Structure 1
Amino acid sequence: MTVSSVVLNVASLTDTGLKRAANEDSLLVASPVFLVADGMGGHEAGDRASAAVVDAFEPLRGSVIEVADIGDALSRASAVVDDISAEHKRGAGTTVTGVALVDHEGAPHWLVFNVGDSRVYRHHANELTQLTIDHSLGQELVDAGELRAEDLSSFSQRNVITRAIGAPDSTADSWLLPVVDGERLLLCSDGLSGEVSDEAIRATLTMNGRPESAAAALVSRALKAGGRDNVSVVVIDVVSGGANTRPDDSTAGREAASASLTDSSLEGTTIPVRAR
């Protein structure tokens, strides 16, 4: 099987929320690449920064994507956001999280990439797994054993991010994961994950069969929880063309796929691929 054999059903939705004057989030649904970007820096800075990410990835629409293409797009976005930041006293930046369909060893894989605290989740067999790792002060303290994971939601500086496009550190994390029939991926800004618990996200994805209804229900939950930030979601269902296995059963394959990518395949990019 190849990328061309994968059938997807996709829906996306974004909302300004109840407290913000403008929507600084941007979305891209341009198979084989999908992403969410959460801009920072205020109106005419944050929204331009997130839009610059979309513009940088738009040329990949309908293309056969390789890992280096994602790194190149991130580099283009960084250059534009740096220029935008120079025009504004507060600066400008944006998160970006996304997935791209790529062929690896003759099989379709997701290339998951992330800079900042927007997230990619995988929902399969009624179970929810966060695939990305937040680049935030709170998460770094959890990783260092200085903050308990269960205390993260009440941590006063939980929204301080440590990497972003336009920031001194814009290095992207990425992972290769086999595409699995029946799985559902969720891409979201922290306007969702900051308002709605993982358990509520899991339940919402489980109860809503169509991606359109799932996207609408998730945004609705974020607004009902306070809507303090812009909220954006992309819901991707794998209908067919992927592996006929549970995601947990493919762990060994994920590690082997990541390990086989040599440094030369990533030359000139800022997106080191690793096992997840």
Structure 2
Amino acid sequence: MEPLAATRCPDCGEAVFADDDFCEACGRSLHGAAPATLPPPGPPPPAAPPSTPGVRVCAECGGTAISDDGYCEQCGVLQPSGREHVEVETPEAVGVSDRGLRHSRNEDAMAVASVGGNVIAVVCDGVSSAPRPEDASQVAAETGAAMLTAQLSSGADPASATRAALARAAKAVAALADSPHDAPACTYVSAVVGDGEVTIGWTGDSRAYWISGGNGARPSTALTVDDSWAARMVALGVMTSAEAHADRRAHTVTSWLGADADEIALRAETFRPDGPGMIVVCSDGLWNYLPEAAEMAEAVHTAAARRPQGPPLEIARSLVRTALDAGGHDNVTVVLIPFPTNVPPAGEARS
């Protein structure tokens, strides 16, 4: 569908879709926006006054009336948060998180760490229908990774550490609620990779995949099962997978982290790859376009083949570009962990 030529952003004049909530070019809220009128030729407006310490200044107009949800009350532009596009690269893992093309902010979050011969990754996706979803995902990712690190450092096994981290993340997100009717929420998936095993914990519909590198490794497969309406319909035998995922209710999550959530299952599933490959941990902004393990594997292998000597970060970037090129209708986050890991066993120094 092409943008309607007569519908333009009132701030920057960029063509927008009739059902857009925000201008993709400048972030302006389009609710109640009047048709664009471009300013007459002339000198540029005067520079914004110097900022005052502790006072947020609009990046567009220099105004200081910034709402709690990040919009300038003077010109309506959503302010940058620093999370629009985030990349992380360590010797053990890489990750990329992007706002996508249709959302006004990035409500995903990720965290990566290594401890005691293990690599840790957590990816969380804020539930957009809940308040402050970006806060929920950030708190869950940071809390989950910190708890995994603490548990593994104290000698806990990966499965016990995974369950403890999921429980602590759930508690931290629940604590964000101002009331039962104002409860931030998010999904959660974690991976602990080390000692020949992969341990996954999750709630919601963020996913983990094993991507086989061949040479005796087990075939590529999804390591999680969605807590979603579509997955429930398929499990009940009411619909086929194709029918369920074509329904508008498909991505309604049935389990999440938040004060209004039911008690969550503290799952910790262990997988032994038996050969080389890669762990993919991602939000639904990526797997929506590559839902089957074979499709995800093809995308990973294709990206790797383009630059066989390139760093894993290039593969992560390629996966995000795949989602953006396919429409980018949601935030997109992916963390990749090569297997076997590049982290030394516990007690050994890196050479």
TM-score of the superposed pair, with normalisation by structure 1: 0.75
Q: Which has the larger radius of gyration?
A: 2
Q: Counterpart in 2 of 1:264?
A: none
**For the structure 1 residues 124 and 176, does the alpha-carbon distance in structure 2 shift closer, same or farther, using more than 3 Å as the test?**
same
- Compare relative contact order (CA 8 Å, sep 6+) and give the higher one, 1 or 2: 1
Report the AA paired with residue 16 of structure 1.
R
CA RMSD of aligned residues (A): 2.6
1:168 aligns with 2:262: yes
Q: Following TM superposition, by how much is the alpha carbon of 1:226 offset from its aligned partner in structure 2, in angstroms?
A: 1.1
Aligned pair partner of 2:286 in 192, 201, 225: 192
Q: Counterpart in 2 of 1:120?
A: 208
Q: Counterpart in 2 of 1:45?
A: 132
Q: Secondary structure at the match of 1:216?
A: helix
Paired residues for 1:132-211 under 5 Å: 132-166=224-258, 167-198=261-292, 199-209=294-304, 210-211=311-312
Paired residues for 1:208-227 under 5 Å: 208-209=303-304, 210-227=311-328
If each structure's helix is expressed as a fraction of its own residues, which one has the higher value? 1
Paired residues for 1:257-272 under 5 Å: none
How many residue pairs get aligned? The number is 232
Decide whether the 8 Å contact of 2:163 with 2:201 is kept in 1. Answer: no
Aligned pair partner of 2:122 in 8, 31, 35: 35
Q: Segments of 4+ in structure 1 off by > 6 A?
A: none
- Residue by residue over 1:31-63, the C-alpha shift from the partner in whole angstroms, topping out at 9 and shown as x without a partner, is 231111111246962111111112223333373
Aligned pair partner of 1:68 in 160, 173, 177: 160
Q: Following TM superposition, by how much is the alpha carbon of 1:70 offset from its aligned partner in structure 2, in angstroms?
A: 2.2
Q: Following TM superposition, by how much is the alpha carbon of 1:169 offset from its aligned partner in structure 2, in angstroms?
A: 3.6
Report the AA paired with residue 234 of structure 1.
V
Decide whether the 8 Å contact of 1:22 with 1:43 is kept in 2. Answer: no
Structure 1 residue runs of 5 or longer lacking an equivalent are: 1-7, 243-276
Q: Following TM superposition, by how much is the alpha carbon of 1:87 offset from its aligned partner in structure 2, in angstroms?
A: 4.9
Structure-1 separation of matches of 2:182 and 2:298? 39
1:23 aligns with 2:128: no
Structure-2 separation of matches of 1:189 and 1:129? 16
1:54 aligns with 2:54: no
TM-score of the superposed pair, with normalisation by structure 2: 0.60
Q: Is the deviation greater in 17-26 or in 122-131?
A: 122-131
Structure-2 separation of matches of 1:172 and 1:224? 36
